[in-house]
């Protein structure tokens, strides 16, 4: 099974999760600016909410790589929202890419809110989540 990890981050919070997930499944985490060179059966896709949506770069990544994506497993951080599945599914449903029911979310530091998050416990939970998906 081919696994890939891609992420988009403005603050660095989601990158921390991406790196923990990638290490757990023995691949490298890469920014969404890096295309998928081969088909990924499972794509762990990390992003955050910005104005109640995912960044345009995430949407463009999905569309640009649609032929190399089997199933997307979402993960991310945010100060308030709890899942990235809804905005990601808005993009994928028109191009027939499955989004897993399972996803991982934790709080991310935003200014003085949720200071220090994601923390070591969050990163450990993200790694365990990723392992449970690929087992």
**Using CA atoms, how far apart are residues 1 and 54, in angstroms rounded to an integer?**
27
Q: Are strands 29-31 and 40-46 parallel, antiparallel or unpaired?
A: unpaired
Per-residue confidence in pLDDT tens, the chain, 135 aa: 999 999 998 878 899 999 999 999 999 999 999 999 999 999 999 987 666 678 899 999 999 999 999 999 999 887 666 777 888 988 999 899 999 999 998 876 666 766 767 899 999 999 999 999 998
Six token digits for residue 104: 């991982």
Q: What is the pLDDT of residue 80?
A: 62
The fold of 3-134 is Rossmann fold (3.40.50)
Q: What is the pLDDT of residue 95?
A: 94
**Using CA atoms, how far apart are residues 62 and 70, in angstroms rounded to an integer?**
11
Q: What is the pLDDT of residue 50?
A: 67
Residues forming a β-bridge with 99 = 72
Q: Are strands 69-78 and 98-99 parallel, antiparallel or unpaired?
A: parallel
pTM score: 0.91
Is the separation of the CB atoms in 86 and 47 below 8 Å?
no
Residues forming a β-bridge with 76 = 105
**Using CA atoms, how far apart are residues 5 and 18, in angstroms rounded to an integer?**
7
26 dihedral zone (left: phi>0; alpha: psi -120 to 50; beta): left
**Using CA atoms, how far apart are residues 45 and 62, in angstroms rounded to an integer?**
9
């Amino acid at each position: 099974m081919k696994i890939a990890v891609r992420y988009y981050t403005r603050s660095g919070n989601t990158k921390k999760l991406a790196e923990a997930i990638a290490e757990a499944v023995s691949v490298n985490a890469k920014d969404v600016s890096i295309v998928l060179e081969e088909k990924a059966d499972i794509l762990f896709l990390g992003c955050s909410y910005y104005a109640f949506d995912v960044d345009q770069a995430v949407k463009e990544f999905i569309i640009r790589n649609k032929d190399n994506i089997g199933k997307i497993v979402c993960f991310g951080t945010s100060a308030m929202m709890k899942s990235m599945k809804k905005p990601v599914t808005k993009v994928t449903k028109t191009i027939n890419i499955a989004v897993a029911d399972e996803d991982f979310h934790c709080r991310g530091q935003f200014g003085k809110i949720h200071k220090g998050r994601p923390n070591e416990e969050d990163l450990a939970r993200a790694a365990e989540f990723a392992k449970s998906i690929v087992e």
